[in-house]
Amino acid sequence: MEISGRTKVCALIGDPVEHSLSPAMHNAAFKHLDLDYVYLAFKVRREELRDAVNGVKALKIHGLNVTKPLKVEITTLLDRLDESALNIGAVNTVLRAGDKLIGYNTDCIGALEALREAGVNLEGMKAVILGAGGAARAVAFAVAPKVRELVILNRTVTKAESLSRDLKRRLGVDVRFGGLSEVEKEEELKDADLLINATSVGMKPNENLSPVNPNLLKPDLTVFDLVYNPVETKLLKDAKKVGAKVVDGLSMLLFQGAAAFSIWTDRDPPLKVMREALKSALEERVSG
């Protein structure tokens, strides 16, 4: 596909962006569907965000993905936020509609789709989320209305508390919270159906670490790890060993990207092509 004067530009903004897998995933999808779109990555520091947003309007950039450290701050610079972005208080996708910029958060739907694809039915489940950062917030808002019981455990307890308060205020759902001590994990995981790791524990270069002692895992638990580098984390390896069902972080990355793709193009995302592109980009990054 030739880049022309009509090509629509989508871009990732954030800092750092050099190692992002999103350009590979979206450009492969545009190419596959022969869409006249291109996806780039722009390094934008926090203090440059206002100028960057004005630049998006002036240059008529079609869509954005937004990553650290801009996801929260950009919410105040857009013309409108969809419900999930409003709830979560963070934006990871932007669509330009004329001279208006609309913010979305597709991490929420990304988490739900990853679980749905793995055949996980949230209804009636007790879920335990480890972490209370940006990713944990999106996942908590996704699963809270569907599960029977939700518990959020975080190293910094005040962040878990404030997430729990937001879930009550915005969704009217009661969510318990606590710290990440061994005692708390053991107590909460005893009768849990779903464990979601939304901390960065286990991410390279600390791939030998797991946020959960293997003896707390059991065959009837589903374990969803948002960490995708490596794809098979120590937590997921331990979970497989005891016969638990596992869902990896690459699925969430794929489905949040797929939802953004649909927002920008109004087309069904070519999931297979996008997943393959993600995998190759990840392998290249590891070997490169």
Q: Please say which residue, 63 or 134, places its beta carbon nearer to ligand ATR.
A: 134
What tokens does 174 get?
Answer: 């009661």
Considering the rule CB under 6 A, would residue 129 count as an interface residue with ligand ATR? Answer: no
Considering the rule CB under 6 A, would residue 66 count as an interface residue with ligand ATR? Answer: no
Torsion sign (Cα): 29, 32, 38, 42: positive
The 161-190 site mask, x for binding ligand ATR (CB under 6 A), equals: -------------------x----------
What tokens does 119 get?
Answer: 């055949």
Single out the catalytic residue among 71, 190, 240, 272: 71
Considering the rule CB under 6 A, would residue 131 count as an interface residue with ligand ATR? Answer: yes
Considering the rule CB under 6 A, would residue 156 count as an interface residue with ligand ATR? Answer: yes
The 134-153 site mask, x for binding ligand ATR (CB under 6 A), equals: xxx-----------------
What type of residue sits at position 227? V
Number of CB atoms found within 10 A of residue 121's CB: 11
Q: Please say which residue, 134 or 269, places its beta carbon nearer to ligand ATR.
A: 134
The 17-56 site mask, x for binding ligand ATR (CB under 6 A), equals: ----------------------------------------
Binding ligand ATR (rule: CB under 6 A), the pick from 52, 66, 94, 201 is 201
Q: Are 123 and 146 contacting, i.e. CB atoms less than 8 angstroms apart?
A: yes
Q: Indicate the residue whose CB is closest to ligand ATR.
A: 133
Considering the rule CB under 6 A, would residue 200 count as an interface residue with ligand ATR? Answer: yes
8 in active site = no
Number of CB atoms found within 10 A of residue 260's CB: 28
Q: Please say which residue, 210 or 222, places its beta carbon nearer to ligand ATR.
A: 210
Distance of closest approach, residue 202 Cβ to ligand ATR, in angstroms: 10
Considering the rule CB under 6 A, would residue 133 count as an interface residue with ligand ATR? Answer: yes
Q: Please say which residue, 28 or 247, places its beta carbon nearer to ligand ATR.
A: 247
Considering the rule CB under 6 A, would residue 155 count as an interface residue with ligand ATR? Answer: yes
Number of alpha carbons in the 13 Å side-chain half-sphere of residue 215: 4
Residues known to be catalytic: 71
Give residues in contact with ligand ATR (CB under 6 A).
Answer: 131-136, 154-156, 159, 180, 198-201
